[in-house]
Amino acid sequence: MSSKSTQRRPRRWDSSVPPADRWCARLTTPTSRPMEKKSARLSIAPLRRYPQAVALLAGWHQSQERQPGGVAVRRAYEQKLRDHLHPGAVPQTFVACAGGEVIGSVSLVLYRRRTAPAATPWLANLFVREDWRQRGVGATMVRFVQEYARRQEVDRLYLVTTDRAPFYRRRGWEVVRRACWRGRAVDIMSVNL
């Protein structure tokens, strides 16, 4: 009987590879469906590894923002996402995949607040496909972006949410203020890294 080693060698990182490509998450997330004991292998990587997902993510972002407008609005979302395909640190969109399918995304972007002298990093566009919700995928992507931002020497992140403040509070985020944004009441939240 022959035995084969199942251990993997540690991957050596090439310093010429952009930081987001060097650092990506691979973990096992238990599913929350009743009577299902399987686990799904979740990976999170920069959008530039999945450029074919730009149109899909643009559709998600458009529906999440509740933006009508059809093709013109969709193209605008696609163009914004194409700006995230470059190897720089920010803006950056990360894609969550499981079983070879794109199941979610989250972005790290720079916004300039009226009260701030410079642009600040914001977590944006967190989206998990409906059939993958309530399984920890969103929480994992939030942790992933926080760690990525920390590695980029960001000390504080912000976000805007219309209805998910409790989700973020459970993860250490605090409401900075309530505001009206794009005609909707929102919570502006932040977290220290």
Q: How many domains does the chain have?
A: 1
User: Is residue 11 one of the residues assigned to a domain?
Assistant: no
Q: Which of 12-21, 117-126, 163-172 has the lowest mean pLDDT?
A: 12-21
Domain assignment present for 170: no
CATH of the domain at 134: 3.40.630.30
- The amino acid occupying position 85 is L
What is the domain extent for residue 144? Answer: 19-154
159, part of any domain: no
Give the residue with greater pLDDT, 80 vs 34: 80
Does pLDDT of 43 surpass 80?
Answer: yes
Q: Do the domain assignments include residue 84? A: yes
pLDDT, one tens digit per residue, over 155-175 is: 999 999 999 999 999 999 999
Query: What b/e string do you get for 64-87 counting C-beta neighbours within 10 Å, with b at 16 or more?
Result: eeeeeeeeeebeebbebbeebbee
* pLDDT score, position 73: 79
Q: Which helix (H) or strand (E) holds 77?
A: helix 70-82
Residue 56 is assigned to a structural domain of this protein: yes
Please report, as a single letter, which amino acid is at residue 129.
Answer: R
Helix %, strand %, coil % of the chain (to 5): 30, 35, 35
| pLDDT value, residue 188 | 92
Residue 175 within any structural domain of the chain: no
pTM score: 0.75
At residue 68, the pLDDT reads 61
Q: Is residue 8 part of a domain?
A: no
* 104: in domain: yes
